[in-house]
Amino acid sequence: MTEDKIFILTSKYCWQYYKIGHPEAPFRVKDTYKYLSERQKKLNIEFVFIDKEIDEEILLLTHSKELIEKVKTENFYEPDTPNLKNIFFYAKISANIVLESLKLAIENKKTFALTRPPGHHATKNNLGGFCYFNNIACAINWYLKNYKHKKVAILDIDVHHGNGTQDIFLNNEKIIFISLHQANIYPATGLKSENNCINFPLLTNTTDFEYLQTLNKAIEKIIEFKPDLLAVSAGFDTFKEDTLAGLMLTEECYYKTAKTIKQLNLATFYVLEGGYSKKLPYLIEKFLEGLK
Ligand SMILES: [Zn+2]
């Protein structure tokens, strides 16, 4: 039986790095933390602070040595994914927040990883799209190594296709990856399904009604797969006021999305990916209300 309390895993290190003018900015975690901490009782949440980095050996279950070295030595150039001082440290903190969330989820606790940098665009060999390491994939590969006969479903509801997660898990029979995303924007992948990676590309201006209908199709796929664990790449850049994309979801849709996923009754960990509007704290609150 899952406890009612929701554990929000986060770290003050998530506030500490930035590039001026970049949308993937500290306010996303900092303002959300402050906003939620004033509503702890109402939301029945408890914060868990993580200040330890993930082990490099765990990163190596997902990423190539070359990528890890590049980030470690700050020897890369990618226009969207800035090369910042100590970014290796911050990226490892973020990956560990997600790993610790998974560990609580398999003890039947509800968890939400309030973290940055995000992860779902990082492939085995490449960083990109504001992502250095694929947080959710690192946690899942740790789980699959330690729990050999288990199966995991990944539901990616960020507005951008989770190309990194698909790259890492394509043809892995222990995984089903399902992504709902806007079709004609970055990273321009995910236009069709491939083996264990099921993609639902959506048109610009998609509204709550069409979105939730598509979500129900995704839920059916998860039920058919019978996973032991569900990982959710929770992006909030599907919001109508988000300037990085063009879907038209309202605040209420996050409540309904969370309620729908919760009804699966699976051990689940939720991980923040994108979401760049100033209303992000409020959207996350709506999502958490749906999980109650
Ligand atoms: Zn996104």
* Burial class, 128, CB count within 10 angstroms (exposed 0-12 / middle 13-18 / buried 19+): middle
Distance CA 169, CA 166 (A): 5
pLDDT for residue 3:
67
- Residue 33's pLDDT is 98
Instruction: Give residue 262's pLDDT.
Output: 97
Place of tokens 């990528």: 67
Q: What is the pLDDT of residues 184-209, one digit of tens each?
A: 899 999 999 999 999 999 999 999 99
- pLDDT value of residue 201: 98
The per-residue pLDDT for range 15-73, each reduced to its tens digit, is 999 999 999 999 999 999 999 999 999 999 999 999 999 999 999 999 999 999 999 99
Give the per-residue pLDDT at 2: 54
Q: Give the Cα separation of 272 and 274 in Å (integer).
A: 7
Q: Rounded to the nearest whole angstrom, what is the distance from the C-alpha of residue 149 to the centroid of ligand 1?
A: 31
In the reported structure, the alpha carbon of residue 54 is separated from the centroid of ligand 1 by a whole-number distance in angstroms of: 23
Spatial distance between the Cα atoms of 123 and 128, rounded to a whole number of angstroms: 8
- Percent of the chain exceeding pLDDT 70 equals 99
The domain spans of the chain are: 6-291
pLDDT of 205 reads 97
Does the pLDDT value for residue 120 go beyond 90?
A: yes
**148 CA distance to ligand 1 middle (Å):** 31
Instruction: Evaluate the omega torsion of the peptide bond into residue 118 and state whether it is cis, within 30 degrees of 0.
Output: no
Q: What are phi and psi of 34, to 5 degrees?
A: -65, -45
**Would you call 160 a catalytic residue per the annotation?**
no
Ligand 1 centroid distance, CA of 236 (Å): 7
Given the residues 63, 120, 121, 181, the one annotated as active site: 121
* pLDDT of the residue at 4: 87
Query: Contact, 52 vs 96, CB < 8 A?
Result: yes
Which class would CATH give 6-291?
alpha beta
Distance CA 237, CA 156 (A): 12
Distance (Å) from CA 118 to ligand 1 centroid:
9
The β-bridge relationship of strands 197-202 and 6-10 is unpaired
pLDDT of 1 above 80 = no
| pLDDT, tens digit, 9 for 90 and up, residues 215-259 | 999 999 999 999 999 999 999 999 999 999 999 999 999 999 999
Residue 240 is predicted with a pLDDT of 98
> CB–CB of 51/10 below 8 Å?
no
- CA 155 to ligand 1 center in whole angstroms: 14
Residue range 156-178: average pLDDT? 98
